[in-house]
Structure 1
Amino acid sequence: MKRRAVLFAGAAVAASATAVALKPRRRASKDFAPIQLEQQVPAGFGPWTIDKSLVPVLPDPSLQAALDQIYGQVLARTYINRSNGQRVMLSIAYGEDQGTDATAAHRPEFCYTAQGFSVASMGTAVLGLDGRNLTVRRLVGQLQARREPITYWVTLNDRAVLPGFSRKVEQIRLGLLGQIPDGMLVRVSSLTAEPSAAFSLQEGFLNDLLAAMPPELQSRYFGSRTA
Structure 2
Amino acid sequence: MIKRLNAVSLAICVGMLGAAWATHAITPTVRIADTRPQIRLAESIPAKFGEWEEDRSQVAAVINPTTQAELDKIYAETLSRTYVNQRGERIMLSIAYGSNQRDDLAVHFPEGCYGGQGFAVAQTVAGELPTVAGKINVSRTEAKLNSRIEPITYWVVVGERSVPNSWEVKKIKLQYAFKGLIPDATLMRVSNITADRDGGYQLQQQFINEMLAAMPVALRNHFAGVGG
What 5-or-longer segments of structure 2 have no aligned partner? Answer: none
**Matched length:** 222
Q: Secondary structure at the match of 2:57?
A: coil
**Structure 1 counterpart of 2:127, which letter?**
A
Aligned to 1:94: 97
Residue 48 (structure 1) aligned with residue 46 (structure 2): no
TM-score normalised over the length of structure 1? 0.90
Q: Is the 8 A contact 2:120 2:143 kept in 1?
A: yes
Tell me the amino acid that sits aligned with residue 57 of structure 1.
I
Distance in 1, Cα, partners of 2:125 & 2:14? 48
Q: 1:26 to 1:116 in 2, by over 3 A?
A: same
Deviates further, 91-100 or 117-126: 117-126
The residue aligned with 1:162 is 164
Match for 2:134 among 132, 135, 147? 132
Counterpart of 2:63, as a letter, is: V
Q: How big is the shift at 1:225? A: 6.3
State the Cα deviation string for residues 6-31 of structure 1 (Å, max 9, x = none): 56445433432331121111101122
Any idea what the Cα deviations from partners look like across 1:29-81, whole Å, max 9, x if unmatched? 122221100111111111111112323111343xx433322111000000001
Q: Deviations over 1:78-132 (max 9, x none)?
A: 0001x2111100000000112427535x211011111111111251221110251
Give the letter aligned to residue 148 of structure 2. R
1:195 paired to 2:197: yes
- In structure 1, what residue type is equivalent to 2:64? L
Distance, in Å, in 2 between the alignment partners of 1:128 and 1:76 is: 23
Tell me if the contact between 1:99 and 1:175 (Cα under 8 Å) persists in the aligned partners. no
Gaps of at least 5 residues in structure 1 are: none
Provide closer, same or farther for how the CA distance between residues 126 and 10 of structure 1 changes in structure 2, counting only shifts above 3 A: closer
SS of residue in 1 equivalent to 2:56: coil
* RMSD (Å), alpha carbons: 2.0
Deviating above 4 A after TM superposition, structure 1's stretches of 4 or more consecutive aligned residues are 5-8
TM-score normalised to the size of structure 2? 0.90
Q: Which residue of 2 aligns with 1:146?
A: 148
CA contact (8 A) 2:133 2:221 kept: no
Please point out which of 74, 78, 94 is paired with 1:74.
78
Residue 218 of structure 1 aligns with which residue?
A: 220
Are 2:129 and 2:137, in contact at CA under 8 Å, matched by a contact in 1?
yes
CA distance in 1, matches of 2:201, 2:167: 24
Shift of 1:164: 2.4
Question: Percent same amino acid among aligned pairs?
Answer: 37
Aligned match for 2:33, one of 29, 33, 39: 29
Tell me, yes or no, if structure 1 residue 57 matches structure 2 residue 63: yes
Instruction: Find the partner of 2:119 among 101, 117, 120.
Output: 117
CA distance in 1, matches of 2:101, 2:224: 16
